[in-house]
Structure 1
Amino acid sequence: MTSPVLVTGGTGTLGRHVVPLLRESGRKVRVLSRHPHPDADGVEYVVGDLRRDIGVAPAVAGVDTVLHLAGAPRGDDTATQALVRAAAHHGVRHLVFISIIGVDRVPLRFYRTKHRAEQIVAASGVPWTTLRAAQFHDLVLDAVRNLARLPVVPVPGGLRLQPVDAGDVAARLVALAAAGPAGRVPDLAGPRVYATGDLIRSYLRERGAHRPLLSVPIPGKIGRAYRQGDNLAAPEADTGSRTWEDFLAERVGAG
């Protein structure tokens, strides 16, 4: 294959794993970014803005596969619409989309927008693959670290998570991109489910820190969805190999 693979979100948490894996597989890579970066080691950076539909068509021109990894708290549906419009126009043969487990069940605004983006991909006419993944270890660590700065750490009551390693997700996406369009594929989550309080305690232990924890209920429909486990993977989902404990030991360490 001589045409490059286009990666949106190639400089983000997931993209920083995906781009090197694509290069290791022998693919040229084009990264769409809102900010300029120097080209390096078989990676071409192009400037564009998906939400404003600026520079999208030139970024898509000449590619056969697109990995759509870019995401934001708002505007994912608008950004995805701009991308699939350009992909359809330029004859892209495979669009790979990363989504989130529970987007059709947890009534968060961001999730509703992500679910609409899934539907836009499916209706685009471009051959597609969609993978839903659990929250990345990195995101969970950021949230836990922020909570643990408080003298009394609030613990969202009833919230359980099944965090997955971004490297595991990246490897799956690169394999899916090479395999060809497959529609909605099995979800990917981490190897274990954790209560939020256990995630916080493990972080504090790794830091050698001590804080009192206080359970705080999540109100309304969102709280009900989390208590029901609507954000968790189904039993038939695939699981990654790297655990939260392994990730935490490497990223935080004692002291």
Structure 2
Amino acid sequence: MTSSVLITGGTGTLGRHVTPLLLDAGCKVRVLSRRGGDPSDGVEHVTGDLLAGEGIEAAVDGAETVLHLAGGPKGDDAATRNLARAVSRAGARHLVHISVIGADRMPLGWFRTQLGAEEAVTGSGVPWTMLRAAQFHDLVLGVVRKMAALPAVPAPGGLRFQPVDARDVASRLAELTLGEPAGLVDDLAGPAVYGMADLVREYLRVRGKRRAMVPVRIPGKVGRAYRAGDNLTLEGADLGGRTWEDFLAERLG
């Protein structure tokens, strides 16, 4: 029997990788985004705004599984609450959610909104699966590019990342979406941990550039959390296969 899957944020970085995997598995896929999309084989595009609460009821109607990938710099908790209410009313059998490693530990506003989104999912009454992932290579590249454009690059001591490739996350999410509700599954991180200075140095090496590195200290609770590795999962995580070096070689050649 063909499964009907609604993907929120299906036109984003992660959604563009997940959608073809679900189509290949025989799913009927509907994609919800603020701007819609061009019709393509096997994909139905619908327009809606999760934060404004617009178009959600129609989008979830008839969907057996909802894969929630949509996110932004703010408001993810409120947007997810709107979605979770609609999914519950529609009687979907499975709500799959992507979150971030450290959502329950990092003392930063964005991480707190991710924890709020998690709570909306777990309190929805809909059987759920949740995957916490590390920062994607694509996101880290954007940060590193901006830092490397400075005449001298700040190198925050103790700031570490374990970036993961979006394709590795997409593969895991497709597997979870096709499976039964599993609750909170093992975190997914990249195969190596890097200091911020290491990430920048490798980027500069690939680009054939040089920059001075200036050590800085992150103060307060945030600094202590990063130095403690609260944004990492050093044990008990699934690991993606593509390293930062692999990603840069492919993306920047």
Q: Give TM-score scaled by structure 2 length.
A: 0.98
Q: Does 1:69 align with 2:69?
A: yes
Superposed CA RMSD: 0.9
Q: How far 1:4 moved relative to its partner?
A: 2.4
Q: Corresponding residue for 2:136?
A: 136
Letter in 1 for 2:107: P
Q: Which stretches of structure 1, 4 residues or longer, exceed 4 Å deviation after superposition? A: none
- CA distances 1:147-193 after superposition (whole Å, capped 9, x unpaired): 00011111222100000010000000000111110000000000000
Q: Corresponding residue for 1:115?
A: 115
Report the Cα distance in structure 2 between the residues aligned to 1:18 and 1:5, rounded to whole angstroms: 11
Letter in 2 for 1:186: D
Task: Check whether the contact 2:3–2:26 (CA below 8 A) recurs between aligned residues.
Answer: no
Amino-acid identity (%): 64
Report the secondary structure of 2:154's partner residue.
Answer: strand
Report the Cα distance in structure 2 between the residues aligned to 1:118 and 1:156, rounded to whole angstroms: 29
Report the Cα distance in structure 1 between the residues aligned to 2:141 and 2:215, rounded to whole angstroms: 19
Report the secondary structure of 1:14's partner residue.
Answer: helix
Report the Cα distance in structure 2 between the residues aligned to 1:241 and 1:222, rounded to whole angstroms: 29
- Correspondence 1:54-203 to 2 at 5 A: 54-203=54-203
Letter in 1 for 2:122: A
Report the Cα distance in structure 2 between the residues aligned to 1:229 and 1:2, rounded to whole angstroms: 42
Q: Does 1:250 align with 2:243?
A: no
Q: Corresponding residue for 1:39?
A: 39
Task: Check whether the contact 1:7–1:32 (CA below 8 A) recurs between aligned residues.
Answer: yes
Report the Cα distance in structure 2 between the residues aligned to 1:66 and 1:234, rounded to whole angstroms: 30
Greater mean alpha carbon deviation, residues 87-96 or residues 36-45: 36-45
Task: Check whether the contact 1:3–1:62 (CA below 8 A) recurs between aligned residues.
Answer: no
Report the Cα distance in structure 1 between the residues aligned to 2:50 and 2:161, rounded to whole angstroms: 30
Q: Give TM-score scaled by structure 1 length.
A: 0.97
Letter in 2 for 1:231: N
| Structure 1 gap ranges (5+) | none
- CA distances 1:98-141 after superposition (whole Å, capped 9, x unpaired): 00000111111010011011011011100000000000000011
Task: Check whether the contact 1:101–1:133 (CA below 8 A) recurs between aligned residues.
Answer: yes
| Structure 2 gap ranges (5+) | none
Q: Corresponding residue for 1:228?
A: 228
Report the secondary structure of 1:52's partner residue.
Answer: coil
Letter in 2 for 1:200: V
Q: How far 1:26 moved relative to its partner?
A: 1.3
Report the Cα distance in structure 1 between the residues aligned to 2:188 and 2:40, rounded to whole angstroms: 31
Q: Corresponding residue for 1:50?
A: 50
Letter in 2 for 1:41: D
Report the secondary structure of 2:13's partner residue.
Answer: coil
Letter in 2 for 1:67: L
Q: Corresponding residue for 2:219?
A: 219
Q: How far 1:3 moved relative to its partner?
A: 4.5
- CA distances 1:73-94 after superposition (whole Å, capped 9, x unpaired): 2111111111111111111000
Q: How far 1:225 moved relative to its partner?
A: 0.2
